[in-house]
C-alpha cells in the first residue's frame, strides 16, 4: 500500500490545531485541494462521524467519503477514506512547549493492478506528496493566523 507522510511544527496550542483538523466546517479553508465538505453526519469529535470531501485532481472533481475511525483528543485522529483512493489519513499531534508538531500520513490503495502501480509511481505518489505538504502548510497558516 503506497504511503506519503510529512511533519510540520505549528506555532499554536495543540487543542486549537486538533479542533481545526476535526472541524469539517473549516477543512476547505486549510486542506490543499479541498473545495467543499458536505454530508456531515455525527459529531466530528467522535468515532464514527463522517463527511464527503470534494477535491480537484487533474481538472476533475472527485469525492471521497471520510469516516472517523479513531480519535484521541487532542493527540490523534484517523480517517478511513472510501472512494477512488481508499485508505487512511492520520494526523498525530504532539505538544512541544507552546508549539505543536503534527505528523500527517496517508496510506492509500491504487486500483488497476500493474497499471495502477505504474500510475502511482509516475503520477499519483508525486501528486499525493504535493497535496499532503500543501495541506500541512495550509494547516500551519490557518492555525497561526
Domains and CATH numbers, the chain: 3-144 (3.30.530.20)
65: nearest Cα among 51, 78, 77, 79: 51
Mean residue pLDDT across the chain = 90
Using DSSP, state whether 74 is helix, strand or coil.
coil
Query: Cα separation of 33 and 132, whole Å?
Result: 10
pTM for the complete prediction?
0.89
**Which residue reads 511544527 in cell numbers?**
9
**Which residue reads 472527485 in cell numbers?**
62
Q: What is the pLDDT of residues 120-130, one digit of tens each?
A: 565 667 777 88
Amino acid at each position: 500500500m503506497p504511503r506519503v507522510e510529512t511533519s510540520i511544527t505549528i506555532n499554536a496550542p495543540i487543542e486549537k490545531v486538533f479542533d481545526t483538523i476535526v472541524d469539517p466546517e473549516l477543512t476547505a479553508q486549510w486542506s490543499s485541494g479541498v473545495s467543499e465538505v458536505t454530508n456531515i453526519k455525527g459529531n466530528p469529535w467522535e468515532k464514527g462521524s463522517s463527511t464527503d470531501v470534494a477535491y480537484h485532481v487533474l481538472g476533475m472533481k472527485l469525492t471521497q467519503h471520510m469516516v472517523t475511525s479513531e480519535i484521541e483528543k487532542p493527540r490523534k485522529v484517523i480517517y478511513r477514506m472510501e472512494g477512488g483512493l481508499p485508505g487512511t489519513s492520520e494526523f498525530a499531534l504532539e505538544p512541544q512547549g507552546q508549539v505543536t508538531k503534527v505528523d500527517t500520513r496517508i496510506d492509500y490503495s491504487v486500483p488497476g493492478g500493474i497499471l495502477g502501480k505504474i500510475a502511482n509511481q509516475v503520477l499519483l505518489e508525486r501528486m499525493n506528496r504535493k497535496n499532503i505538504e500543501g495541506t500541512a502548510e495550509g494547516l500551519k497558516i490557518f492555525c497561526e493566523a
